[in-house]
Amino acid sequence: MSAGKILIVEDEETLLEVLRYNLDKEGYTVVTAADGIQALNSARSESPDLIILDIMLPQLDGFEVCRILRKDITVPILMLTAREEEIDKVLGLELGADDYMAKPFSMRELKARIKAILRRAAMQSKPGGVEGGVLRIADLTIDLGKHQVSIGEATVSLTPKEFDLLAYLAGNKGRVFSREHLLERVWGYDYFGDTRTVDVHIRWLREKLETEPSKPRRLITVRGTGYKIEG
């Protein structure tokens, strides 16, 4: 049985082959694309469980690919970045990438991240599983089984990571959590990112859930401590 299907989008042939070899050895089914257009096509035709997406690509760059896919696909996306400016962009833009890795990276670290991402995705797709149920906070409804969020009658489209963060806070409403705690619980013990990731996702959630994102009434910053969801 395959451990999952991974689409690798990378135009550097050597790196692509190293990735293909290593992930194949781990039991994943690997499909590849070498430019942005191929990436879009394969993402739709192959229904991968995870996309590893390089940023510097011919045709369309990784940012564009991510932005286009996020309009209708919730597959986890791990972006590969080569430069510091790209990391800032991944974190700073509303791209909806779930994670990123800066080149050069170790295969060990990449495999750990892939495992963590796929494990979380599998847990979320289990209807009525450990994470099943519906959370309601005022007019906000979070269906943990179906992975759907709505405000009143209006459905809100969230990336997988935004959903995880919201679900965690909502499942513990009124409690304040530090950025470190959220990073550990939502992104996983084996996540190597920094706490800025949490701030960025909170900002994205506010833009989607708050009437006035600059004056949040649901997702509250507790100064010097962290974040909570108002119950």
CB of 14 to Ca ion, least distance (A): 11
CB of 56 to Ca ion, least distance (A): 4
Contacts to Ca ion from residues 2-21, by CB under 5 A: 11
CB of 13 to Ca ion, least distance (A): 10
CB of 136 to Ca ion, least distance (A): 45
Question: What residue spans of 32-148 are helical by DSSP H?
Answer: 36-45, 62-70, 84-92, 107-125
| Residue 214 burial class via C-beta count within 10 angstroms: exposed 0-12, middle 13-18, buried 19 and up | exposed
Q: How far is CA 191 from the centre of its chain?
A: 12
CB of 22 to Ca ion, least distance (A): 18
Rounded CA-CA distance 90/92 in Å is 6
Q: Given the complex with Ca ion, which of 11 and 199 has the nearer CB atom? A: 11
Q: Given the complex with Ca ion, which of 35 and 210 has the nearer CB atom? A: 35
Q: In this structure, what token pair is assigned to residue 1?
A: 């049985």
Which position's Cβ is nearest Ca ion? Answer: 56
Rounded CA-CA distance 213/207 in Å is 5
**Site track for Ca ion across 32-71, x = CB under 5 A:** ----------------------x-x---------------
Q: Please list the helix, strand and coil fractions of the chain in percent, rounded to the nearest 5, in that order.
A: 40, 20, 40
Q: Given the complex with Ca ion, which of 49 and 54 has the nearer CB atom? A: 54
Question: Under the rule (CB under 5 A), what is the footprint of Ca ion?
Answer: 11, 54, 56
